[in-house]
Structure 1
Amino acid sequence: MLELYQFELSHYCEKVRLILDYKGLPYRKVEVTPGIGQLDLYRLSGQRQVPVLKDGAEVIADSTAIAKYLDQHYPERPIIPTDPKQRALCFVMEEWADESIGLNARKVMIGAFSQSAAFRRAFLPSSTPDFLRTVVDSVPPEALEVLGMGAGFGPDAVKAARQTMQQNLESLCVLLQDSSYLLGEEPTLADFAVAALTMYVKFPAGAYLKLPEALKGMGVPGLADNPAYDLFWVWRDRLYATYRKVGIPGESTATSGTGPTSINIE
């Protein structure tokens, strides 16, 4: 069986999960524990980033490389067009999704986390004691902004990312006005990349991911709930309902070894 070494809340891993579900390929998730699980991942793939796909003796790192591998070795329900121009457009749009949507979605989510107590509360498990919820509510946004600046996610960076995401969502709404998918009437890699990489802007509402219940369907205020972008969110929800499987595949956790105490999500 295919094995996906992953981080559950990585939107790049979600891109691979969407593709696997679309192709109807059974797989087992191997959750990579930050730090202690990364040594095994390095031994397996020669690097520490997720996602990594293991198919027998084959080990493939990077979500784009995995998508190409799956289309070549499991050609049923192809996701990469054969027409040269459509193929080129597909790869351009996927790269745009990876580099613009993926990176800026992360920044606007962190900005919303800093500014919205409701968003912070949604990340807490349902079993969180009331006093801890009160502590989370009482953290001043200014304190979180200072922490964000140290990680490169200060107010200016978040503002620029928000403007870029607004432009991205506007463009996607235009592209989807007269077609079922971004490149026509059949889904491609571009569609799955865009759908997955907007996860941080608005989390899927269904039981697709291991998320706190309060977080399902929640998103960045002004982007996830703006009527101007309804066409896109309805499209994404329909893509999920059509192709993403509900439920959690067999899962294990990569925990042996020692290593760095952070994980790079790619």
Structure 2
Amino acid sequence: MSGPLRLIELRPSPNNIKVRLGLRLKGCEFETIPVALDDAERAEVLRLSGQPLTPVLLDGDLPVWDSAAILRHLDTIAPHEPIFFGRTRERIHEVERWERWARGVVYDTFTIVPGMAFRGAFDPAEVERANAEMRRHTARIEEALADRDYLLGDAPTAADLTLVPMVFSTMLTEEQAAASRIAAFLRQHFHLGEERDRTRAWVERLMAHWH
């Protein structure tokens, strides 16, 4: 590694969970620089990385931002298993297909319920739509996990790390929901549902590395 690692993170957000999981799974030591949920200016993030979004990984003096770029950076500086994007062209393309689906289709579904919480507006029809769409998404995940622990085999990839934080938001415990009004709203209105045993075990397997 080229320098000490520091993670600038907004801890509850999916992309920040994704990167923290990546660091933990790689066995990287890192320090954290927390960003508050209500820190609209993001002055410290701007100062350190030149842009306002989290997460940002500081590798020595080098800022790396965008969660997918950070996972690729981790594959470069810690080139041991698990490899998040693969060692062959075919494997990389397979991971990226899942990642595009997660960052596009699934993310659009995920944002419906917390979006209502941020706006302070409750729409039962939109909640029903979000839960129905997530049921369809997790059906695909459940099928992929039929004969394996992770989406593409025996080790987690960027596909798993991109999807799991969003699915995790449908499984919050009472203790986790107490962390914020957004988490409480998710626990009340966004649910994984029944017949998702493999998906539930997959989430628990990965999220055990979060803290």
Aligned equivalent of 1:4:
7
Aligned equivalent of 2:133:
164
Aligned-partner SS, 2:121: helix
What does 1:13-92 align with in structure 2 at a 5 Å threshold? 13-33=16-36, 34-35=38-39, 38-77=42-81, 78-92=83-97
Question: For residues 153-196 of structure 1, what are the alpha-carbon distances to aligned partners after superposition, in whole Å with 9 as ceiling and x for unaligned?
Answer: x4454443322211101111011111221112222111121112
TM-aligned CA deviation for residue 110 of structure 1: 5.4
Distance 1:36 1:161, change over 3 A: closer
Gaps of at least 5 residues in structure 2 are: none
Aligned-partner SS, 2:148: coil
| Distance in 2 (alpha carbons) for counterparts of 1:220 and 1:187 | 29
Does 2:121 align with 1:148? yes
Q: Aligned residues, how many?
A: 203
- Decide which of 81, 103, 123 is 2:108's aligned counterpart: 103
Aligned equivalent of 1:126:
none
Question: For residues 204-251 of structure 1, what are the alpha-carbon distances to aligned partners after superposition, in whole Å with 9 as ceiling and x for unaligned?
Answer: 7999x9947xx79x8455733x2222220112112333xx054xxxxx
Aligned-partner SS, 1:80: coil
Distance 1:234 1:156, change over 3 A: same
| Distance in 2 (alpha carbons) for counterparts of 1:66 and 1:2 | 11
CA contact (8 A) 1:11 1:199 kept: no
Q: RMSD of the TM alignment (CA)? A: 3.0
Distance 1:235 1:35, change over 3 A: closer
CA contact (8 A) 1:8 1:210 kept: no
Code of the aligned partner of 1:240: M
Larger-Rg structure? 1
Distance 1:158 1:181, change over 3 A: same
Code of the aligned partner of 1:8: R
Distance 1:210 1:63, change over 3 A: farther
**Which structure exhibits the higher relative contact order, with contacts defined as CA atoms closer than 8 Å and separated by 6 or more residues?**
1
| TM-score normalized with structure 2 length | 0.82
TM-aligned CA deviation for residue 69 of structure 1: 0.9
Aligned-partner SS, 2:32: strand
| Distance in 2 (alpha carbons) for counterparts of 1:108 and 1:160 | 10
Distance 1:42 1:81, change over 3 A: same
Aligned equivalent of 1:239:
206
Aligned-partner SS, 1:161: helix
CA contact (8 A) 2:168 2:203 kept: no
Gaps of at least 5 residues in structure 1 are: 114-143, 247-266
| TM-score normalized with structure 1 length | 0.66
